[in-house]
Chain A
Amino acid sequence: MLNERAFKAVGKPLPRKEDLRLVTGKGRFTDDFNMPGQVWASMVRSPYPHARIVAIDVADALGMPGVLGVYTGVDCARDGLQPIPHNPVPSTNFDMKLTGPGGTKVFIGSHMLLPADKARHVGEAVAMVVADTRDQAQAAAEAVAVEYEELPWVADTLAAAEPDAPRLWDELPDNVLVDSSFGDAVATDAAFARAPHVVTMTAHIGRVTGAPLEPRAALGSYDAETGRYTLYAGSGGAVRQKREMAEVLNEPPENLRVISFDVGGNFGTRNRAYVEFGLVLWASKKLGRPVKFRAERSESFLTDYQGRDLVTEVSLAIDRDGKFLAMRASNLSNVGSRCASLSPLSKGAGLITGSYDIPVATLRARAVYSCTMPTQAYRSSGRPEVTFAIERLVDKAARELGFDRLELRRRNMVRPEQMPYVNAVGSTYDSGEYEANMDKLLALADWQGIEARRADAKARGKLLGVGFANYVESSIGTPKERADVIVRPDGVEVVIGTQPAGQGHETSFAQVTADLLGVPFDNVTITLGDTDVVSAGGGTHSGRSMRHASTVLALASVEIIEKGCALAAHCLGVERDAIQFDEGVFRVADRNTSLSWFDLAGRADDKSLPESLRGGLKVRCDSEMHTPVFPNGACCCEIEVDPETGGLEITRYSTVDDVGRCINPLIVHGQTHGGIAQGVGQALWEQCYIDPGSGQPTNGSFMDYGMPRFDNMPSFKTQIVEVLSPTNPFGVKAGGEGGTTPAPAVIMSAMEDALSEFGPMDIEMPATGLKIWSAIQQGRARLAASKTA
């Protein structure tokens, strides 16, 4: 059991350990590393969304200054390189089980480093040039002559699911790779048949990209003497990249070392291996030189794994009193040209009923291939999509049926006494006080003052809109984690296999370790990101890291305290049972002798120790935890729309987030802030737009992709709630994604409220100024027409 009273670090807003290097320019990002003799790789990328590769003429490129080699998909195949083993079907005991049509195995199109057959999206690398300098490699890449045969293509999600759509994979009869159903269809149909009210909605939660500010990069080298490869590549987990790259190269994993120190943003985009990671390793062996690749921003926009892109059709059956009777949903996920991950579809599938007690539901979950960059889990994978569906549908139900939107929610929320609550598609919500979250939020957001603020805005010619959304999300993730805890005379080191990209693991894990062992926070260091040191671990995704780390550290602490007690007993000449451990000190009862961790560590290497106590004061601990947790909360925002221009300002934004135990509020609030910005970005500005005529992506830079910026974001009011999860020792849920999950829904809810005088609106995300202005014009025209009529 945890002794909460002894917590000195856990729960404190301690500034981060990692900051000192990052604010002084001493970070260690991938591109900061260079090796002697290093040369550069540049990719030849497909200009077509779908095209057969007829021939590649490399002669001109090979003759250009500095060029050392040009490699194609044929070369990859000749060398026997394997496809990247993405393993996209979520497979923990609690993931929704996705299958192909008719219960078949999901067909996963092979993801070779370079394709030999055809290009399946604009920007796909079809050849690699390596040259002495980056400029030379880029120039020569322009000179590689690829003969393409253009093929019919499809990029749009719904169009790709049509039976006669242009087909990406010959192995499938169409583009549908997943078609699964969940819940109780018969009972749902029956409930719908009886229901006095049915409300329906269709929405496309569009394609966006993570846009981490560090462009992806990779530096590969091969040591012919040892036969080992080294890859510097920032990612969401070096251990995974090591395993996958070893498979690609047909090497045993121990022949690879992957290094991922500071990572300049991830948000999911870096959780799957990139072809360039394998390519630089492969080329480094062929050329006997270290090979480096750094994406330009335009390459990042084209070929970073993207996010969302889900079409959802949802219906809710409601009785006369506003009680939800049943829900029906059909979700269609666009995985792009290859299936890197089905996490978004799977995650969302388990949460379609949201925060509400809906007795029966059924869901059809499908995924399609399309001629676009593959999608991957992106900040709060799958949850913002389904939260958007249920929350916008509840708003619509309230409006159409004449209920107050808060009251309708209150009537249907899952209540604390129902916890653990099994929802209609089988997900078990661990804990939470959903309605209390709502009450806290309404106070925080000053809901009472809204009408006064609305009047004030109106006096200034602005339309004030208030958005509201509840949310519940799931945190699952890879179930296994490992920690090495090593106590030395000068401090404690923890080696662990998660991979932060700004989440502050070096700080929050140190807080946990410090309190578990009773040592000062300053004496704990966390080691991450080098697979020669970190032997195993699940990486960072799905809000898993704090929960898995604190759990494995709690297990490790029990073992190392026992080890410490045995060593202390030996050193003090007493029986093991005479040793008491409390707050970092090993004591013998009634004796004025004690030893600290660091005293003990000084004696742990003593050669005279009995065999059982030798080997240093350290433990290695593995844990496996499948049970998911369900972070939850509520969110409210206010916007002001200028009806003459469609311009919009977010004037207030408040959230209440139940993250379970909060280890470091400074960090968790920061996570919420950043999460909000990404969710708001999707609602208002962000979109990976593909020109419907040519199939060309049109976002190639920050000039044509709308980012959240200093001057379009507000300051936030965020409040943390800690309803401890019963599923893990510290009661951690997760704090990384709650900002994002309700954000698209809450912004569009506010938009609808702001424009309510013009009648029901039809604005798709991103709700740009032009779309808002056009909706207002149409609304005014409708109003004028109805007056004349």
Chain B
Amino acid sequence: MALVSMTVNGSAVAREVDDNTFLAFFLRDHLGLTGTHVGCDTTQCGCCVVHVDGRSVKSCTMLAAQAQGCAVTTIEGLATGDVLHPVQRAFHLHHGLQCGYCTPGMIMAAVNLIETHDGALTEEIVREEMEGNLCRCTGYHNIVKAILAAADEMSPSHAAAE
């Protein structure tokens, strides 16, 4: 057992957990944050993506202990009160989700892509960069649309125009 402490969605948390506890299960089972999903157990599907110190991470193969002292953001921490993050809003408006199981990881990966990509995003770049996230429902079409729309809304030039 190990005492693991970190900041999750802005709150300090500490839990005594088995050494082999992965971050995804730390979030789901120990903190009750079940928005982070596990779809493959092996870092292939991306349903479990969260942000650890501002980086996109597949939490199903990162030990909770490796996030010791880190700042973790999950899908539950993305909206500001009742106001959805632009990426969450874009997924809704562009029907970028169907069953919703891949959606939390998809949104977290997309947020990180938009925030960290230098220059304008194009369909080709989105398809290339998001390749580590799988969706079985949407054929990706509307997710690409949603990410491009959110990127546009979040871009400095968009803000300047308003």
* A positions within 8 Å CB-CB of B: 15-16, 18-27, 29, 31-32, 34, 135, 210-215, 262-267, 296-298, 501-504, 666-667, 669-671, 673-678, 701-703, 707-711, 713, 715-716, 739
Interface residue B137 (Cβ < 8 Å from any Cβ of A): yes
Using A265-B137, A702-B40, A711-B131 as known contacts, say yes or no to A24 and B99 having CB atoms under 8 A apart: no
Q: 22 interchain pairs (CB within 8 A)?
A: A15-B95, A23-B91, A24-B84, A25-B35, A25-B74, A25-B76, A25-B104, A26-B35, A27-B34, A31-B38, A213-B101, A213-B102, A215-B39, A262-B99, A265-B98, A265-B101, A267-B136, A298-B41, A676-B139, A678-B136, A707-B136, A710-B144
Given contacts A502-B99, A670-B137, 15 further A-B pairs with CB under 8 A are A23-B75, A24-B35, A25-B74, A34-B29, A213-B47, A214-B99, A298-B41, A670-B142, A673-B138, A676-B139, A677-B136, A702-B40, A707-B134, A709-B131, A710-B128
List the 8 shortest-distance A-B pairs measured between CB atoms, nearest first. A25-B35, A264-B101, A22-B100, A502-B98, A502-B99, A677-B139, A25-B75, A673-B139
Residues of chain B from 89 to 137 with CB closer than 8 A to chain A in the complex: 91-93, 95, 97-104, 107, 123, 126-128, 130-131, 133-137
Q: Complex formed: what's the CA distance from A10 to B82 in Å? A: 28
Q: In the complex, are the beta carbons of A19 and B92 less than 8 A apart?
A: yes
Q: Complex formed: what's the CA distance from A242 to B74 in Å? A: 35
A681 CB to closest chain B CB (Å) equals 9
Q: In the complex, are the beta carbons of A674 and B139 less than 8 A apart?
A: yes
Contacts of A298 in B (CB 8 A): 41
Q: Complex formed: what's the CA distance from A424 to B41 in Å? A: 49
Contacts of A211 in B (CB 8 A): 136
Contacts of A675 in B (CB 8 A): 139
Q: In the complex, are the beta carbons of A674 and B138 less than 8 A apart?
A: yes
- Considering the complex, give the chain B residue whose CB is closest to the CB of A296: B41
Q: In the complex, are the beta carbons of B40 and A214 less than 8 A apart?
A: no
Contacts of B75 in A (CB 8 A): 23-25
Q: In the complex, are the beta carbons of B41 and A297 less than 8 A apart?
A: yes
- Considering the complex, give the chain A residue whose CB is closest to the CB of B123: A715
Using A19-B92, A213-B47, A716-B139 as known contacts, say yes or no to A710 and B76 having CB atoms under 8 A apart: no
Contacts of A739 in B (CB 8 A): 139
Contacting residue for B42 out of A29, A502, A702, CB 8 A: A702
Using A263-B99, A667-B95, A710-B140 as known contacts, say yes or no to A703 and B44 having CB atoms under 8 A apart: yes
Interface residue B88 (Cβ < 8 Å from any Cβ of A): yes
Q: Complex formed: what's the CA distance from A716 to B34 in Å? A: 33
Contacts of B37 in A (CB 8 A): 29, 213-214, 264
Q: In the complex, are the beta carbons of B92 and A15 less than 8 A apart?
A: yes
Contacts of B35 in A (CB 8 A): 24-27
- In this complex, the interface size class of chain B, counting residues with CB under 8 Å from chain A, is 35 or more
Q: Complex formed: what's the CA distance from A214 to B36 in Å? A: 12
Q: In the complex, are the beta carbons of A673 and B99 less than 8 A apart?
A: no
Using A15-B92, A215-B39 as known contacts, say yes or no to A504 and B98 having CB atoms under 8 A apart: yes
- Considering the complex, give the chain A residue whose CB is closest to the CB of B79: A24
Interface residue B52 (Cβ < 8 Å from any Cβ of A): no
Contacting residue for A701 out of B33, B42, B130, B135, CB 8 A: B42
- Considering the complex, give the chain B residue whose CB is closest to the CB of A702: B44
Q: Complex formed: what's the CA distance from A210 to B137 in Å? A: 10
Interface residue B78 (Cβ < 8 Å from any Cβ of A): yes
Contacts of B40 in A (CB 8 A): 297, 701-702
Contacts of A707 in B (CB 8 A): 134, 136
- Considering the complex, give the chain B residue whose CB is closest to the CB of A299: B41
Using A23-B88, A25-B35 as known contacts, say yes or no to A213 and B136 having CB atoms under 8 A apart: yes
Q: Complex formed: what's the CA distance from A206 to B64 in Å? A: 41
Contacts of A262 in B (CB 8 A): 99-101
Q: In the complex, are the beta carbons of B127 and A24 less than 8 A apart?
A: no
Q: In the complex, are the beta carbons of A502 and B95 less than 8 A apart?
A: no
B118 CB to closest chain A CB (Å) equals 20
Q: Complex formed: what's the CA distance from A715 to B126 in Å? A: 12
Q: In the complex, are the beta carbons of A214 and B39 less than 8 A apart?
A: yes
Q: In the complex, are the beta carbons of A674 and B42 less than 8 A apart?
A: no
Q: Complex formed: what's the CA distance from A709 to B106 in Å? A: 13
Using A15-B95, A27-B100, A701-B40 as known contacts, say yes or no to A212 and B136 having CB atoms under 8 A apart: yes
Contacts of A23 in B (CB 8 A): 75, 84, 88, 91-92, 97, 100, 103-104, 107
Q: In the complex, are the beta carbons of B107 and A670 less than 8 A apart?
A: no
Q: Complex formed: what's the CA distance from A11 to B98 in Å? A: 19
Q: In the complex, are the beta carbons of B140 and A677 less than 8 A apart?
A: yes
Q: Complex formed: what's the CA distance from A113 to B64 in Å? A: 36
Using A25-B33, A710-B131 as known contacts, say yes or no to A16 and B92 having CB atoms under 8 A apart: yes
Using A19-B92, A24-B88, A25-B35 as known contacts, say yes or no to A212 and B98 having CB atoms under 8 A apart: no
Q: In the complex, are the beta carbons of B127 and A710 less than 8 A apart?
A: yes
Contacts of B29 in A (CB 8 A): 34
Contacts of A504 in B (CB 8 A): 98
Q: In the complex, are the beta carbons of A265 and B99 less than 8 A apart?
A: yes
Contacts of A296 in B (CB 8 A): 41
Q: Complex formed: what's the CA distance from A26 to B100 in Å? A: 10
Q: Complex formed: what's the CA distance from A675 to B88 in Å? A: 24
- Considering the complex, give the chain B residue whose CB is closest to the CB of A667: B95
Q: Complex formed: what's the CA distance from A266 to B99 in Å? A: 9
Interface residue B45 (Cβ < 8 Å from any Cβ of A): yes
B111 CB to closest chain A CB (Å) equals 12
Contacts of B140 in A (CB 8 A): 673, 677, 708-710, 713
Contacts of A716 in B (CB 8 A): 139, 141
Contacting residue for B134 out of A16, A34, A709, CB 8 A: A709
Q: Complex formed: what's the CA distance from A564 to B41 in Å? A: 54
Q: Complex formed: what's the CA distance from A503 to B97 in Å? A: 10
Contacting residue for B98 out of A674, A710, A713, A715, CB 8 A: A674
